[in-house]
Amino acid sequence: MDFISKLGKDLVSLVYPKQCIGCNSQKGENTNIYCITCNSKIGYTDHFEIKNNELIKRISPRINPQHGAALFEYIKEGLVQKAIHGLKYSGRFDLGNNLGKTFGRSYILSPHFSKADYIIPIPIHNSKRRKRGYNQSYEFAKGIFDVTDIPILEKVLVKKSKTTTQTKKGRTDRFDQVLGSFSLQSPEVLKGMTILIVDDVLTTGATIEAAYTLLNEIENITIQLGLIAIANN
């Protein structure tokens, strides 16, 4: 191997470590972010196969997407938390892309998802994006795109610049707060379209429900939801 291609490969292995995100063992050329042992312990959901799954039960009757699925159950201190933490706080944007590919493969095979026209990642504040260097939901969306060829649309659902720092308690207040932090730009491009809204973790559901509520105002829109993980409240 010449110097330049060796250097390139070293850089790639720096950016995409061959270590398992769960236990740090060497996982070889395995494309999954987990080694085989960790992967067998992870709580993959049945959301792609089951119509009335846990995610749908959690968000209905407030919102009614065509279908929705989270890849994993999020357990505190668990293996999935390590991946989410790496993605959000340790600069491991590659994890988002990798998990997006995993999501995309199940999405294609799911009898409950029709193929969307666009993927809409949940936006984050510019200040957060600058600090993190990327939007984790966009990285997840890119992985889904890699497998499904569904284009990503970032410009319609946008995050307003920070206006308030007050924190209120309770579902409704949180929902109103998130709803007020989003706005739509040129929403007419989504008329009659099917969209897949994607985010990292569903906890209270306020973010997804606010994004859905805003986008659902668009004429003849069909909305699907995609998440990396769903947390048990």
Q: Give the integer Cα–Cα distance in Å for 87 and 97.
A: 10
* CB-nearer residue toward Zn ion: 38 or 63: 38
Helix (H, G, I), strand (E, B) or coil at 221: coil
Buried/exposed code over 58-74 (b: 16+ C-beta within 10 A; e: otherwise): bbeeebebebbbbbbbb
* CB-nearer residue toward Zn ion: 18 or 115: 18
* CB-nearer residue toward Zn ion: 40 or 186: 40
Q: Give the integer Cα–Cα distance in Å for 119 and 142.
A: 9
Helices and strands counted in the chain (H then E): 9, 6
Taking the complex as a whole, the smallest distance from the CB of residue 30 to Zn ion amounts, in Å, to 10
Taking the complex as a whole, the smallest distance from the CB of residue 39 to Zn ion amounts, in Å, to 7
DSSP 7-24: HHHHHHHHHS--B-TTT-
Under rule CB under 5 A, how many of the chain's residues touch Zn ion? 5
Q: Which of residues 8-27 bind Zn ion (CB under 5 A)?
A: 20, 22-23
* CB-nearer residue toward Zn ion: 24 or 127: 24
Task: Please give the backbone phi and psi of residue 166, each rounded to the nearest 5 degrees, phi first.
Answer: -65, 140
Segment lying near Zn ion (by CB under 5 A), choices 32-40, 42-50, 161-169, 175-183: 32-40
Taking the complex as a whole, the smallest distance from the CB of residue 101 to Zn ion amounts, in Å, to 18
Taking the complex as a whole, the smallest distance from the CB of residue 206 to Zn ion amounts, in Å, to 33
* CB-nearer residue toward Zn ion: 35 or 56: 35
Taking the complex as a whole, the smallest distance from the CB of residue 35 to Zn ion amounts, in Å, to 3
Q: How far apart are the first and last CA of the chain?
A: 51
Asked if residue 61 has a cis previous peptide bond (ω within 30° of 0), the answer is yes
Convert residues 33-72 into a mask of x (bound to Zn ion by CB under 5 A) and - (unbound): --x--x----------------------------------
Whose tokens are 């932090």? That residue is: 181
Residues of this chain that interact with Zn ion (CB under 5 A) are 20, 22-23, 35, 38
